[in-house]
Amino acid sequence: MLRYLKITTFLLLIASLFSCRKDFERPNWDVELLAPLIKTSLNLEDLLPDTVLVTNPDTSLKVVYQTSIFDIGIDSLFQIPDTTITDVHSIAVSSIAAPGSVFYSEPEEYSLNVNNGVGLNLAMIESGFIEIEIYSEIKEKIIITYTVPSAIKNGDTLELVETINAATPGNPAHFKRKIDISGYDLDLTGVNHSEINTLVTRAVATVDPMASSSVTLIFGETITFNTTLLGVEPYFVRGYFGNQLLSYKDTAEVNVLNKIAGTIDLDEVDVNIEFKNGIGADAQILLNQFGALNTNTTNNVNLLHSSIGSPINLNRGLLTYSIPEVNYSAYNIPMNTINSNIDQLIETLPNSIIYDIDININPLGNISGGNDFVYKKHLLETNLNVEFPLSLIANNLALSDTLSFSLPNETQTGRIIDGTLFLYADNGFPFDAAIELSLFDESNNFLQTLNVSTKILAAPVDGNLRVLSPKQSVLSIPVSTATADNLYLANKMVFKIGFTTQPQSQFVKLYEGYDIDIQVVGDFSYNLSFN
């Protein structure tokens, strides 16, 4: 888009010729000059993102747009909260333990507080930590071998071997270590592999083999183990996800039509609400509301379609044991101008989608026998797919552009007294157009709107309403002294062009290459006064 400001160098030439005259001569001239000010070109890419414009074989254009409304993943189904598990081993009977002897060895089962009634038997960990804290009241160094038999990585069990210092009277020895469990698989079925949400640990306490003598283990002395799960984020889990009802009532941003103002009537619209299930659990969907909202105009329309209020059964995804890991199941709700009012939703030029959707997970219960699954990267997706040809009836359909603009300082070129701005428009659209020019200063303060009383004429069309060649219109805008003052103050010029189809009852297709070229030229009276 070409933008420029060009004032004839004739003014500077006159300035140089008279710059050496004596003060008392003070020449003062009034001259008529033409000055090209701004040139720009506007096309459909100024109205719609080029990423959504698709050219048909006949070069007519259509809009193809896809967006995600919302997704359901691991975090929506459940969370493994940060949890601290405490196990206290107390010496039951006072005894003597020789160096190197084992005096404590027991497995422990701990239930994780997984929410939403979800029962997990396997969790593959993407990130997280197990923090182990040990307090020992034994009056000799001991070796603690701490394992998590249910945590396996590359075939190895998670194991920690540490020496704990000897306690002193009233001061237990203390040890703390945080272990990264990224990449570990957690078997959550317990010692006998019959449980859910159950973590198994095992601690073995041995008297330091290097101790100089045996140690007396006193009745009531304790070794305390605090095991804390921190920030555990799985990338895959298996189990039973319960019979959950998830409700989503919100808005989703839609930015494809946000540059368009005015009103349009579309000839055809095809929209598809798509549900794709990458979760290994069945779902039943109830679409309570689906609508479009333009927050600028406050216009909103709710969808009228047979799917509203009717349960939709969505089958579970299936494991492939390959790449990609999941075969998605899908359900589509196709809508068009025959079976719904979907065209009215699009014609509001929405910047938000309103939705109210209930999703019932496992409506038939635990039919998988605890083999529901979900990958972090495979979700239950709700997508919106929109397609419509640019065949429309338009009323003041607006294109706009903001151009940098400035006039040279009047002390260098003289002072504009008055004149006329001529706007040359080569219109390649089959629409008449009204145009408005507004001036703003460098702080974006509004200065003035320049009135244009006549319209830009539509390009001539053939029998199929396709443009034959651009149509040139020349529009004039009077410039008063006050307007000239604002031109000197202006830093930006905003063009707003409103297209209207003629006749208003006929749909018009838009084709690749349609644009409108605009040039503004100033025919000014200057007063030249040089010292």
DSSP string, 179-190: EE-TT-EEE-BT
CB-neighbour burial class of residue 20 (10 A; exposed 0-12, middle 13-18, buried 19+)? exposed
Among candidate residues 331, 336, 332, 330, the one with its CA nearest the CA of residue 271: 336
Rounded CA Rg of the chain: 38
* 78 SS3 class: coil
- Same domain for 181 and 267, yes or no, is no
343 contacts 352 by C-beta, under 8 angstroms? no
Q: pLDDT tens for residues 335-387? A: 999 999 999 999 999 999 999 999 999 999 999 999 999 999 999 999 999 99
- Same domain for 148 and 83, yes or no, is yes
Residue 16: inside a domain: yes
The predicted pLDDT at position 13 comes to 36
Q: What are the C-alpha distances in Å from 239 to residues 192, 194, 276, 349, 367?
A: 17, 12, 21, 44, 11
Among candidate residues 240, 252, 268, the one with its CA nearest the CA of residue 353: 252
User: What is the helix (H) or strand (E) element at residue 415, kind and residue range?
Assistant: strand 415-427
Look-up: residue for tokens 């089962």? 109
Domain boundary residue among 240, 262, 288?
240
Local confidence band at 495 (pLDDT 50, 70, 90 cut-offs) = confident
Local confidence band at 32 (pLDDT 50, 70, 90 cut-offs) = low
Local confidence band at 522 (pLDDT 50, 70, 90 cut-offs) = confident
Domain boundary residue among 374, 389, 404?
389
Local confidence band at 30 (pLDDT 50, 70, 90 cut-offs) = low
Domain boundary residue among 363, 389, 415?
389
Residue 471: inside a domain: yes
Q: pLDDT tens for residues 383-439? A: 999 999 999 999 888 888 888 888 766 555 567 888 899 999 999 999 999 999 999
Burial per residue of 354-391, b for 16 or more beta-carbon CB atoms within 10 angstroms, e otherwise:
bbebebbbbbeebebeebbbbbeebbbbbbbebbbbbb
CB-neighbour burial class of residue 415 (10 A; exposed 0-12, middle 13-18, buried 19+)? middle
Task: For residues 439 and 405, give the distance between their C-alpha atoms in angstroms, rounded to a whole number.
Answer: 9
Q: pLDDT tens for residues 156-177? A: 999 999 999 999 998 999 999 9
The predicted pLDDT at position 33 comes to 58
Residue 174: inside a domain: yes
Residue 2: inside a domain: no
Stretch 303-330: mean pLDDT: 96
* Other Cβ atoms closer than 10 A to 526: 22
Chain Cα centroid distance, residue 398: 26
Stretch 28-33: mean pLDDT: 54
Stretch 69-83: mean pLDDT: 92
Q: Which residues pair with 417 in a beta bridge?
A: none
117 contacts 239 by C-beta, under 8 angstroms? no
* E strand spans, 19-114: 28-43, 53-55, 61-72, 83-90, 95-97, 102-111
Evaluate if residue 48 carries a pLDDT over 70: yes
Among candidate residues 508, 427, 493, the one with its CA nearest the CA of residue 462: 508
- Same domain for 385 and 404, yes or no, is no
Higher local confidence (pLDDT), 140 or 530? 140
- Same domain for 254 and 383, yes or no, is yes
Evaluate if residue 107 carries a pLDDT over 60: yes
* 410 SS3 class: helix
Q: pLDDT tens for residues 232-262? A: 999 999 999 999 999 999 999 998 888 888 8
- Same domain for 381 and 443, yes or no, is no
Evaluate if residue 16 carries a pLDDT over 50: no
Evaluate if residue 25 carries a pLDDT over 70: no
Residue 70: inside a domain: yes
> Phi, psi (5° rounding) for residue 272?
-130, 120
Residue 3: inside a domain: no
- 315: domain CATH number is 2.60.120
- Same domain for 365 and 444, yes or no, is no
Q: What are the C-alpha distances in Å from 394 to residues 92, 435, 502?
A: 89, 15, 9
379 contacts 279 by C-beta, under 8 angstroms? yes
Local confidence band at 28 (pLDDT 50, 70, 90 cut-offs) = low
Q: Which residues pair with 497 in a beta bridge?
A: 399, 435
Evaluate if residue 206 carries a pLDDT over 60: yes
- Same domain for 411 and 373, yes or no, is no
Q: What are the C-alpha distances in Å from 6 to residues 36, 408, 417?
A: 5, 10, 18
Local confidence band at 47 (pLDDT 50, 70, 90 cut-offs) = confident
Local confidence band at 320 (pLDDT 50, 70, 90 cut-offs) = very high
The predicted pLDDT at position 525 comes to 82
Local confidence band at 26 (pLDDT 50, 70, 90 cut-offs) = very low
- Same domain for 129 and 274, yes or no, is no
- Same domain for 140 and 288, yes or no, is no
The predicted pLDDT at position 413 comes to 55
Task: For residues 16 and 35, give the distance between their C-alpha atoms in angstroms, rounded to a whole number.
Answer: 19
Q: Which amino acid is it at 455? A: K
Residue 251: inside a domain: yes
The predicted pLDDT at position 20 comes to 38
- Same domain for 70 and 101, yes or no, is no
Omega before 334 cis (within 30°)?
no
* Mean pLDDT rounded to a whole number for the chain: 89
- Same domain for 122 and 189, yes or no, is yes
The predicted pLDDT at position 45 comes to 85
**Parallel/antiparallel/unpaired status of strands 270-277 and 329-336:** antiparallel
* Other Cβ atoms closer than 10 A to 194: 9
* Other Cβ atoms closer than 10 A to 93: 7
Higher local confidence (pLDDT), 23 or 205? 205
Percentage, residues of the chain above pLDDT 90: 73
Q: pLDDT tens for residues 467-478? A: 999 999 999 999
Domain of residue 249 covers 62-74+244-389
- Same domain for 87 and 112, yes or no, is yes
User: What is the helix (H) or strand (E) element at residue 483, kind and residue range?
Assistant: helix 481-489
- 19: domain CATH number is 2.60.40
Task: For residues 529 and 531, give the distance between their C-alpha atoms in angstroms, rounded to a whole number.
Answer: 7
Residue 402: inside a domain: yes
Q: pLDDT tens for residues 124-139? A: 999 999 999 999 999 9
Evaluate if residue 7 carries a pLDDT over 70: no
Percentage, residues of the chain above pLDDT 70: 91
User: What is the helix (H) or strand (E) element at residue 346, kind and residue range?
Assistant: helix 342-347
451 contacts 462 by C-beta, under 8 angstroms? no
Query: How many folded domains does the chain comprise?
Result: 3
Q: Which residues pair with 308 in a beta bridge?
A: 287
Q: What are the C-alpha distances in Å from 125 to residues 159, 190, 236, 394?
A: 17, 17, 7, 55
